[in-house]
C-alpha cells in the first residue's frame, strides 16, 4: 500500500489484495490491537480494499517476484543521453578561481574521491560564499560546514568553518542567546510523512515593507520544511484558512493535524468548524507555554536572525528577503533527520547559487542581481 499509495489512496472503486498469509484475512476484524496494529489500522482507513487468501502454490506470480534473483555484480548504469549532446555545466567565478589556484597547489593524496580540493588562497572566499550568501542565511558553523562538505574538501575544514563563523560580525550582532527551559521535555509524536502534521503561527508588528506588516509561518514537523508568506496585516480565521489552502494544501494535501497557539483567529468558531468538516485535527498550545508549538517558534527565531542579518540597514525591505530566508532554511542540514528539508520532501539537494560578477547585457537581470548581492 505504501508503494502504490499514489494510485490507491482515495480510489472510488474497491481493489483486492491477494495474499498467501491466511491470518491477514482477519486483520480488520481483530477486537484488541497493540499500538503497532492500531497504527496500521489507522493507515488502512485511507484505502478501500478487501483481502483474499490464496495458497502459496496457487500464488505463483507474486511468489516468483518475491524470490527474484539478484546478481552479486551490479551492472554499471549507462547514460541515456550521449555525452556529446550534454551541455557543459556553467562554472561560476569561484570555480574558475579554484581551478586556477589548483594549478599552483595540487590536491594532496588524502583528498576524498569525488570532492574538489580547495587551495589556501580560495578557502576564505568560499567560506564567505557558503556563509554570507542570501541562499544560506548566515548559518552556524555546523551548517556552514555541511554546505561545503557536499562538494569541497581541505584539511582542517571544520576548524576553519568554526573560526570563520565566530569572527562574523553580522552573526555577532543578530544572533540571540537561547537557553533550554526548565522542566521535563515532552515532545509531540513524530509524523510518518512530510506535511501531515504542521505548525502555524504569525510574526506581527513588523516595519511596513511594501504594505506588509505580518508574516504567516508554516512548518512541517516531519521534514522541518517551512513556508513564509508576507501579509498586509493579521488575517481573520477565514482569511487564514484561505492562505493555507492557496499556499500549502493544494501542493501537499490536507494535513492530519495542525498545532497552533491561542491567538484569537485560531480559537474562533469559524476555524474549529472549518477544519472539523475537513477531518483535520486542531490542537492548541498550552496557555502561556509557546514551547508546545516549539518547532514553529524555533523557525520564527531563525527567521528573525536572518532578517536582522540582511535588513539591519533597511528594515523596510524585509518582505523582499522572505523567499531567500525560506530557501536558506530548507537548504540547511537538520540534525533530527540527517537531511535537509529539500531532500526530505523533494529527494534532492539544490546547489548554492552560482553568483557571478560578469554582466549579462540585460539591464533588468543585472539590476536584480545587484539588488540581491547588495548585502
- The residues, any chain, with a CB within 8 Å of residue 349's CB and separated by 6 or more, are 150, 331, 340, 342, 343
Give CA–CA dist 358/93, Å, rounded. Answer: 9
The proportion of the chain whose per-residue pLDDT surpasses 70, expressed as a percent, equals 76
Give φ, ψ of 202 to 5 degrees: -125, 150
Mean pLDDT over residues 21-44, rounded?
Answer: 77
Quick one: pLDDT band at residue 90, thresholds 50, 70, 90? very low
pLDDT at 51: 83
3-state helix, strand, coil in the chain (%, to 5): 45, 10, 45
Give CA–CA dist 258/251, Å, rounded. Answer: 16
CATH number of 197-346: 3.30.420.10
pLDDT at 135: 66
The proportion of the chain whose per-residue pLDDT surpasses 90, expressed as a percent, equals 5
Q: Is the pLDDT of residue 228 over 90?
A: yes
Lowest mean pLDDT among 27-31, 164-168, 216-220, 239-243: 27-31
SS3 of residue 282 by DSSP: strand
* pTM of the full structure: 0.56
What is the per-residue pLDDT across 247-296, written as a single tens digit (0 to 9) for each?
888 888 889 988 887 666 667 777 778 888 888 888 776 554 555 667 88
pLDDT at 231: 92
Instruction: Find the distance separating the first CA and the last CA of the chain, reported in whole Å.
Output: 49
Q: Which CATH number fits domain 93-174: 3.40.190.10, 1.10.340.70, 3.30.70.920, 3.40.50.1970?
A: 1.10.340.70
Could you tell me the residue ranges of all domains in the chain? 5-66, 93-174, 197-346
pLDDT at 68: 57
- Give the C-alpha distances (Å, rounded to integers) separating 40 from 170, 192, 361: 49, 12, 59
Give CA–CA dist 309/315, Å, rounded. Answer: 10
Mean pLDDT over residues 56-78, rounded?
Answer: 65
- The residues, any chain, with a CB within 8 Å of residue 216's CB and separated by 6 or more, are 200, 202, 227, 228, 229, 231, 235, 240, 243, 247
In DSSP terms, 247 is beta-bridged to none
C-alpha cell at 349: 539537494
Give CA–CA dist 370/374, Å, rounded. Answer: 6
Q: Is the pLDDT of residue 353 over 60?
A: no
Please, are residues 334 and 340 in contact by the beta-carbon 8 Å criterion? yes
Give CA–CA dist 105/71, Å, rounded. Answer: 43
Give CA–CA dist 194/142, Å, rounded. Answer: 24
pLDDT at 87: 42
Q: Is the pLDDT of residue 88 over 80?
A: no
Give CA–CA dist 178/175, Å, rounded. Answer: 9
Amino acid at each position: 500500500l505504501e508503494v502504490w499509495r499514489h494510485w490507491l489512496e482515495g480510489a472510488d472503486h474497491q481493489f483486492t489484495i491477494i495474499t498467501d498469509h491466511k491470518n491477514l484475512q482477519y486483520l480488520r476484524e481483530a477486537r484488541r490491537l497493540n499500538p503497532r496494529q492500531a497504527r496500521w489500522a489507522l493507515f488502512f482507513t485511507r484505502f478501500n480494499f478487501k483481502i483474499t487468501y490464496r495458497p502459496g502454490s496457487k500464488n505463483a506470480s507474486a511468489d516468483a517476484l518475491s524470490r527474484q534473483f539478484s546478481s552479486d555484480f551490479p551492472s554499471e548504469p549507462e547514460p541515456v543521453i550521449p555525452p556529446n549532446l550534454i551541455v557543459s555545466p556553467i562554472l561560476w567565478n569561484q570555480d574558475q578561481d579554484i581551478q586556477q589556484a589548483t594549478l599552483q597547489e595540487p590536491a594532496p593524496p588524502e583528498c576524498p574521491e569525488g570532492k574538489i580540493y580547495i587551495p589556501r588562497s580560495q578557502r576564505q572566499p568560499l567560506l564567505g560564499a557558503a556563509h554570507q550568501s542570501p541562499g544560506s542565511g548566515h548559518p552556524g558553523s555546523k551548517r556552514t560546514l555541511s554546505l561545503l562538505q557536499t562538494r569541497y574538501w581541505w584539511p582542517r575544514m571544520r576548524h576553519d568553518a568554526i573560526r570563520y563563523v565566530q569572527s562574523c560580525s553580522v552573526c555577532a550582532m543578530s544572533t540571540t542567546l537561547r537557553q533550554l527551559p526548565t522542566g521535563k521535555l515532552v515532545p509531540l509524536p513524530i509524523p510518518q510523512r512530510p506535511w501531515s502534521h504542521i505548525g502555524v503561527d504569525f510574526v506581527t508588528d513588523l516595519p511596513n515593507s511594501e504594505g506588509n506588516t505580518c508574516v504567516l509561518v508554516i512548518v512541517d514537523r516531519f521534514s522541518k520544511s517551512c513556508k513564509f508568506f508576507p501579509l498586509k496585516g493579521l488575517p481573520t480565521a477565514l482569511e487564514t484558512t484561505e492562505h493555507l489552502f492557496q499556499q500549502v494544501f493544494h501542493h501537499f494535501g490536507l494535513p492530519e493535524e495542525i498545532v497552533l497557539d491561542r491567538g484569537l483567529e485560531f480559537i474562533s468558531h469559524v476555524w474549529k468548524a472549518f477544519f472539523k468538516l475537513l477531518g483535520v485535527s486542531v490542537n492548541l498550545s498550552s496557555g502561556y507555554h509557546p514551547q508546545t508549538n516549539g518547532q514553529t517558534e524555533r523557525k520564527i527565531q531563525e527567521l528573525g536572525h536572518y532578517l536582522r542579518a540582511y535588513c539591519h540597514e533597511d528594515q523596510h525591505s524585509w518582505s523582499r528577503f522572505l523567499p531567500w530566508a525560506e530557501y536558506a532554511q530548507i537548504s540547511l542540514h537538520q540534525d533530527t533527520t540527517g537531511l535537509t528539508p529539500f531532500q526530505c520532501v523533494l529527494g534532492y539537494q539544490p546547489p548554492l547559487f552560482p553568483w557571478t560578477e560578469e554582466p549579462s547585457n540585460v539591464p533588468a537581470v543585472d539590476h536584480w542581481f545587484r539588488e540581491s548581492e547588495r548585502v
